[in-house]
């Protein structure tokens, strides 16, 4: 008999935040590009598009995790690596910002491991 998967509350809240924040930031970045287009240098416009696409991809990975797809986790890891690399190379961010970029992954790993019978990682396909 098929047993329905159950999500732990911590994981559900975290995924809802990833999806919601990713969607809002994606729209915000693209609207910002449209609204301030004449003030943004042509060579820098791609950064707004890249940030918007990255946020949209983050939301998509959150949706995949919500549907129990393991590739959503790997997608978030890849996005964290790419975003951190861009922050280091292009923007010359400090190491604190880089470490903070991976804090979300630590929280996600913790949320996937808690729950006993409802542990998220074991239920991913």
pLDDT digits (tens, 9 = 90+) for 64-88: 999 999 999 999 999 999 988 888 8
How many residues can be counted in the chain?
A: 125
Range of the domain at 30: 9-117
Q: What is the DSSP letter of 68?
A: T
Q: From the first residue on, what is the mean pLDDT of each consecutive set of 10 residues in the chain (125 residues)? A: 77 95 95 92 89 95 96 96 84 78 89 83 87
The pair of structure tokens assigned to 31 is 């609207």
Give the Cα-Cα-Cα angle 67, 72, 77 (nearest 5 degrees).
155
pLDDT, residue 36, reads 93
Residue 84 lies in a domain: yes
Q: Residue 3: inside a domain, yes or no?
A: no
On whether residue 105 sits in a domain, the answer given is yes
Per-residue confidence (pLDDT) for residue 2, from 0 to 100: 57
Q: With beta carbons less than 8 A apart as the criterion, state whether 98 and 84 touch.
A: yes
| pTM attached to this predicted model | 0.89
Number of domains in the chain: 1
**Coil, strand or helix at 36:** coil
Judge whether 25 lies within some domain.
yes
């Amino acid at each position: 008999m098929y047993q329905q998967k159950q999500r732990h509350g911590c994981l559900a809240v975290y995924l809802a935040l990833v999806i919601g924040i990713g969607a809002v930031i994606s729209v915000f970045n693209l609207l910002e590009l449209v609204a301030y287009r004449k003030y943004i240098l042509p060579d820098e416009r791609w950064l707004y598009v890249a940030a918007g696409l990255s946020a949209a991809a983050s939301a998509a990975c959150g949706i995949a995790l919500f549907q129990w797809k393991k590739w959503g986790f790997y997608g978030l890891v890849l996005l964290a690596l790419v975003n951190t690399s861009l922050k280091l190379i292009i923007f010359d961010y400090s190491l604190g910002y880089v470490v903070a970029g991976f804090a979300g992954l630590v929280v996600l790993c913790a949320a996937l491991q808690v729950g006993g019978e409802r542990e998220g990682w074991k239920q991913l396909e």
